Amino acid sequence: MNKFTHRRAVISGIMICIFAVYIIRLFYLQVMDDSYKMSAINNSQRVEVQYPARGLIFDRNNTLLVYNQAAYDLMIIPRQMQAFDTTELTSILGITKESLVKSLERCKRYSRYKASSLVSQITDNKYAMLQEKLYKYPGFFIQTRTLRKYNISHSADVFGYIGEVSSAQIERDSSYAPGDYIGVNGLEKSYEQVLKGTKGKKILLVDNYNRTKGSLKDGAYDEPAVVGGNLTTTLDIRLQEYAYHLMQNKKGGVIAIEPATGEILLKVSSPGFDPQWLVGLERGTNYAKLQQNPNLPLFDRTVMATYPPGSIFKTIMGLIGLQEGVITPASKFECYGGASFNGRFMSCHNHPSPLDLRGAIQHSCNPYFVNVFRRILENSRYKGVRDAYDPWRDQVMSFGLGQQICPDFLNELPGSIPTREHYDREFKTQNWYYTYVMSLAIGQGALLMTPLQMANIVSCIANRGYYITPHIVRPMDQEHAARIKKHPVNIKSSYFECIIDGMENAVKAGTGRNAASDSVVICGKTGTIQNPHGEDHSAFFAFAPRENPQIAILVYVENGEWGSSYAAPIAGLLIEQYLTGTVPERKNALEKRMLEANLID
C-alpha cells in the first residue's frame, strides 16, 4: 500500500466515524430523546383541565342552599412567558406586585412546562378586562371553573368553605394538583369525595401567541369532567334562619334534633359569618379579618366549644339515682337557700322545701342533686367513693358524652367526663370523699360538653332511653346509612317519666316559664353556669311535644346570666316556630327583646 492510498483510508475512516456519530445522535434525538418532541407539542398544544362543578347542597325540603357560579383562573406556562407589564396586570387584577411575584415563583417551582394557576377565583368584571389585554401576555391563558355561591348569608359553620389544595394534601392524594380546590371545613370537607366530582381534560391547538386554534382531532382525545354528587341535609333552613337572627349579637350555639331520627334540624354557631366572604379574590383579606375578630366567628361553638352543662345535667343525675336504686321519685331532701355538706356549703335559690324528684327538677334545687350524688358514691355495693365513681361515669357516657357522636363534622370535640385518674392527680390521693367531686352533681367542675352533646341528652330523654346517631346529611347509600345507629342508655325506660314530669312542670311553673307555649306541651330544663370570667352562661334544653316528640333543642348563650333570661325564651320561640309555623302574638314583645339583645358589645 502506497502512501497516498494509506492517507485516503485514514480520511475515509474519519469521515465514516463522523457520519456514524451524526447518525447515532440523530437516532437518539428522534427516537430515544423526546424533549424536542415535547417542546414542539408544548408550543402547539395546550392541555386544559376541565374542572367539574361541585355537587349541590339542599335542605330537608329540597330548598337549594349551595350551588356554583362561573369563575376564572389566570393560568401560566412559565417557559412560554415573556417580559410583561406587571403594573398593568396587577392593576387589572387588584393585587400587589409582591403577591404576583410570589405566585410566579411558585408556578416556576412547580413546573416550567406545565400550566399552573397564577391567580385564582377571578370574578366576571375583572375577567372581562383581562380578556381584552391577554394577547399582550404570552404564556398566560384563562381557565374556566366554578366557585361556590350561597343562597343564604349565614351558616358558614355548617357548610364550610373551599380553598386551594396544599402541597401536603397533594402528596397524600395525587388526584389533586396545584391550584385545585378542596373542602377546608364543614360539609365541604367532610363530604369532599362526594362533592368534588372527577376532572376531565381538553387538548387544544394553539399558535405561537398561545391563542386557541381549535381542538386536537376535533376533541377525539378529550375527557369530559364528571359533576360532583349532591347532598341533601336534614336542616330546616327557615328554622335555621330564624335561629340565626335570634342569636345575633350573642355568643353561643343552638342545636335542634328530631329525636326519632337523629336528624339535625338546625345548627347555629354565633357569632358566625357569611360564607360568601371566603369566595373570590377578597377571600384572603376577609379571612384575615375573621381571624382577627375577638369574637372568634371562625370558631364553631356548636361542636368545638366545650362548656360545663350546669343544671341541665341534673336530669342525668336523677336518672342515675333512680337506676342505682338510691332514690325513688318520692325521695325528698331539704333546702333552705342551700345546704351544708361536711362543712362545704352548696348555695341555692329560694323555693319550696323539702322537694321530691319532680319538684327538684322543676325548681332546679342544687342540694337535692348533691344528696343524690352522695348516695350514688357512698352506695354500700362499692368499696368506696372512688370505686363507685367509674360505674357512675360509664352511665353518664352512655348518653353520648365524652366522645364524638356526629360523623358529619370532622372538627367535633369529645368534651370531657373526668376519669378517676384525673382526680387522683388533682387530689393527690386515692382516698376520696364525695365532697371532692360534688360540683359534678350540678353540672359544674371538670364536666365539659359541646352544645351538640347537650342537645343529644335531651333527645335521649325525649326517646325515653336512647338516641339515634346525630347527623346533618341524609344517607346516600347503604354504607352511609350504616353509620346511623340506635344507642340505648343504661337507664330503665320507665324512670324517664318522672324526670319528664319535672321538666314539664319547669316550663309551666318553674325556672323555664319563659319557654312556655299555649299550644304545645314543652318539657325543658334551665341551666345557669358559673363563669369566673364574667357574667354566668345561660342554657336551656327542651323537647316538644311531650308525646311523640318532634324536636329536641339546646340553646347555650355565653354571659346570658340565668338560663331563664335568654336560652329559655329563644328555645321556646324556635319550638313554636317549628311546630306551629308562627310565633303567637303574646310573644311578640319577648321575640323583639331577643332579636334586639346585644350581649357582645
> From CA 467, how far away is CA 457, in angstroms rounded?
8
- In the numeric block, which cell numbers belong to residue 265? 334540624
Q: Answer for the pair 129, 90: CB distance below 8 angstroms, yes or no.
A: no
- Give the pLDDT score at 30: 59
The per-residue pLDDT for 596 is 95
For residue 38, name the pLDDT band (cuts at 50, 70, 90).
Answer: very low
Residues 218 and 322 in one domain: no
- pLDDT greater than 60 at residue 170: yes
Q: What pLDDT is attached to residue 122?
A: 83
How far apart, in whole angstroms, are the C-alpha atoms of residue 558 and residue 43?
62
pLDDT tens profile 59-104: 999 999 999 988 888 888 888 888 888 888 888 888 888 888 888 8
What does the block give as the cell for 350?
329560694
In this predicted structure, the answer to whether residue 171 has a pLDDT above a threshold of 80 is yes
pLDDT digits (tens, 9 = 90+) for 323-358: 999 999 999 999 989 999 988 999 998 899 999 999
Question: How confident is the model over 156-172, as a mean pLDDT?
Answer: 91
Is residue 591 a part of any domain in this protein? yes
Task: Check residue 78 and give its pLDDT.
Answer: 87
Give the pLDDT of residue 573: 97
pLDDT, mean of residues 166-184: 88
Residue found under cell 492517507: 7
CATH of the domain at 52: 3.90.1310.10
- Decide which of 126 and 43 is more confident: 126
Tell whether the model's pLDDT for residue 39 goes beyond 50.
Answer: no
CATH number at residue 343: 3.40.710.10
Where is the domain boundary, 216, 232, 248? 232
Contact (Cβ atoms closer than 8 angstroms) between residue 530 and residue 320: no
pLDDT of 6: 64
Read off the pLDDT of residues 125-153 as tens digits, 9 standing for 90 and up.
788 888 888 888 888 888 888 889 999 99
Q: Judge whether residue 276 has pLDDT over 80.
A: yes
Supply the pLDDT for residue 36.
46
Q: Is the pLDDT of residue 49 over 90?
A: no
Shared domain for 138 and 274, answered yes or no, is no
Whether residue 307 sits in one domain with residue 179:
no
Residue with the bigger pLDDT between 363 and 209: it is 363
Residue 232 vs residues 218, 267, 311: alpha-carbon distances, Å? 38, 15, 35
Distance CA 163, CA 283 (A): 9
In the predicted model, is pLDDT for residue 17 greater than 80? no
Q: What percent of the chain has pLDDT over 70?
A: 92
Q: Are residues 216 and 304 in the same domain?
A: no
- Residues 105 and 141 grouped into a single domain: yes
In a domain, 288, yes or no: no
Is 535 domain-assigned?
Answer: yes
Does one domain contain both 258 and 133?
no
H or E, element range at 76:
strand 64-76
Last residue of a domain, one of 232, 257, 290: 232
The answer as to whether 588 is a domain residue is yes
- Cα dihedral 346/349/350/354 (nearest 10): -50
pLDDT in tens, 457-514: 999 999 999 999 999 999 998 989 999 999 999 999 999 999 999 999 999 999 899 9
Strand partners, 206: 212
Strands of the sheet containing 523-529, edge to edge, are: 263-270, 252-258, 551-557, 537-544, 523-529
The reply to whether 124 falls in a domain is yes
State the pLDDT confidence band at 9, using cuts at 50, 70 and 90: low
Confidence label for 5 from pLDDT (cuts 50, 70 and 90): low
Task: Say what percent of the chain tops pLDDT 90.
Answer: 62
In terms of domains, do 216 and 339 share one? no
Give a yes or no: residue 174 inside a domain. yes
* φ, ψ for residue 540, nearest 5 deg: -155, 130
Looking at the fold, whether 224 and 269 belong to one and the same domain comes out as no
In which domain, by residue range, is 424 found?
Answer: 237-279+298-596
> What is the pLDDT, as a whole number, of residue 394?
96
Q: According to the model, what pLDDT value does residue 213 have?
A: 62
| Pairwise CA distance, residues 517 & 330, whole Å | 28
Q: Determine the pLDDT at residue 135.
A: 83
Closest Cα to residue 542, out of 414, 448, 454, 449?
A: 454
179 has a pLDDT exceeding 60: yes
The total number of structural domains that make up the chain = 2
Question: Residue 594, class by beta-carbon neighbours within 10 Å (0-12 exposed, 13-18 middle, 19+ buried)?
Answer: buried
Q: Mark whether 430 and 492 lie in a shared domain.
A: yes
In a domain, 481, yes or no: yes
371 half-sphere exposure, CB direction, 13 A CA radius: 19
CA neighbor of 321 nearest in space, from 377, 363, 272: 377
More confident residue, 395 or 132: 395
Residues 196 and 244 grouped into a single domain: no
In the prediction, which pLDDT does 166 show?
A: 87
pLDDT at residue number 71: 82
Q: What is the CA radius of gyration of the chain?
A: 33
Q: Are residues 227 and 305 in the same domain?
A: no
**Same-domain pairing of 590 and 452:** yes
For residue 68, being part of any structural domain is answered with yes
User: How do residues 522-563 score in pLDDT, each as one tens digit?
Assistant: 999 999 888 877 888 999 999 999 999 999 999 999 998 877
Q: pTM of the full predicted structure?
A: 0.86
Q: Are 77 and 114 in contact (CB under 8 A)?
A: yes
Q: pLDDT by residue (tens digit) across 503-521?
A: 999 999 998 999 999 999 9
pLDDT at residue 207 greater than cutoff 70: no
pLDDT, position 274: 94
Q: What is the mean pLDDT of the chain?
A: 89
Mean predicted confidence (pLDDT) in 166-171: 88
Model confidence at 380: pLDDT above 70: yes
